[in-house]
């Protein structure tokens, strides 16, 4: 497997009402590359945002199913989400807008 560059590991931040509540617990949510591993995600967040990561949880978000009349369609693709817990006192300023 090819080594991912740290800027290719993190695709985008996920900002919803639920993730806003996680930020109060010092947890941040990112969409990451499907091939990214937990150590790669941890290293990418620490190097890009200059923070200390204590824990990384990952999960695969399933595709959403839709209907067009009698026919089943897929509205989105499967993607990987990472919930990153930071050390106490560290924050990511990107989310505090």
Structural domains in the chain (count)? 1
For residue 72, the enclosing domain spans 6-87
pLDDT category, 96, cuts 50, 70, 90? low
C-alpha span between 88 and 26 (Å, rounded): 7
DSSP 31: E
CATH code of the domain containing 22: 3.30.70.330
* Model-wide pTM > 0.95: no
The predicted structure's pLDDT at residue 46: 97
Alpha helices in the chain (DSSP H): 6-9, 17-23, 38-49
- pLDDT tens, position by position, 20-37: 999 999 999 999 999 999
Asked if the model's pLDDT at residue 76 lies above 90, the reply is: no
């Amino acid at each position: 497997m090819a080594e991912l560059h740290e800027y290719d590991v993190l695709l985008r931040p996920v900002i919803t009402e639920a993730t806003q509540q996680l930020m109060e617990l010092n947890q941040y949510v990112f969409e990451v590359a499907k091939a990214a591993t937990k150590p790669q995600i941890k290293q990418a967040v620490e190097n890009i945002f200059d923070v200390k990561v204590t824990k990384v949880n990952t999960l695969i978000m399933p595709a959403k199913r839709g209907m067009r009349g009698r026919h089943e369609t897929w509205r989105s693709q499967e993607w990987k989400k990472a919930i990153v817990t930071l050390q106490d006192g560290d924050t990511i300023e990107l989310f505090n807008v």
